[in-house]
Amino acid sequence: MLAALPRFLEFLGLTLSLYNVGVAWTLAVVHYPTWRDLPPERIGATARAHLARMAMATTVPSMFAYMAVAMLVWVVPHPGPLFYAATAANLVNVLVVIWTLLIERPSLLRLARGSADMRPLGRVVRGSFVIALGWTIESLIVLWIVLGAQRLPNFSP
């Protein structure tokens, strides 16, 4: 059973990463840009509803994806290039989290408080593309791990 753990983590990480890519691009291309069409007095309520409803759809899968990809490095390290690819995927995850915590989340909270300043909305719209791009890069790396792990010999004892 433990021998199957690395493959399970690879596919779990890939599945959750692809889910996050889909959600991130949907938010970036469809969801956030439509907020520009709302009357300013509705943006605060929309941001509050968004924060309440989207937390489970985005945060929980993201955390599981981070854990699965992190375990690829620290629990069941891959030999050579796959180890470095998993490390790079984790670095991208960390950068996405930092961007989210420093740029995206504060802007959403400012909008949720009913700020009359619309600059946070611009940061949310533009920032969502950075997050979507980060998740796309991370997913491509994990896909490479999944495909590459099938071709490389198993060096584990």
Which of the four pLDDT bands, split at 50, 70 and 90, describes residue 7?
Answer: confident
- For the four alpha carbons of 72, 73, 77 and 82, in that order, the dihedral sign comes to positive
pTM value is 0.83
Please indicate whether residue 130 or residue 64 has the higher confidence score (pLDDT).
Answer: 130
Over the stretch 98-145, which tens digit does the pLDDT of each residue have?
998 899 999 999 999 988 788 999 999 999 999 999 999 999 998 988
- For the four alpha carbons of 146, 148, 150 and 153, in that order, the dihedral sign comes to negative
Over the stretch 20-63, which tens digit does the pLDDT of each residue have?
899 999 999 999 999 999 998 899 999 999 998 887 778 778 88
Cα atoms found within 13 Å of the Cα of residue 83, Cβ hemisphere only: 10
Q: In this predicted structure, what is the pLDDT of residue 155?
A: 46
Residue 9, classified by CB atoms within 10 Å of its CB into exposed (0-12), middle (13-18) or buried (19+), is buried
Residue 101, classified by CB atoms within 10 Å of its CB into exposed (0-12), middle (13-18) or buried (19+), is exposed
Query: Could you tell me if 136 and 21 are in contact, meaning their C-beta atoms sit under 8 angstroms apart?
Result: yes
What type of residue is 142?
Answer: V
Q: In this predicted structure, what is the pLDDT of residue 13?
A: 84
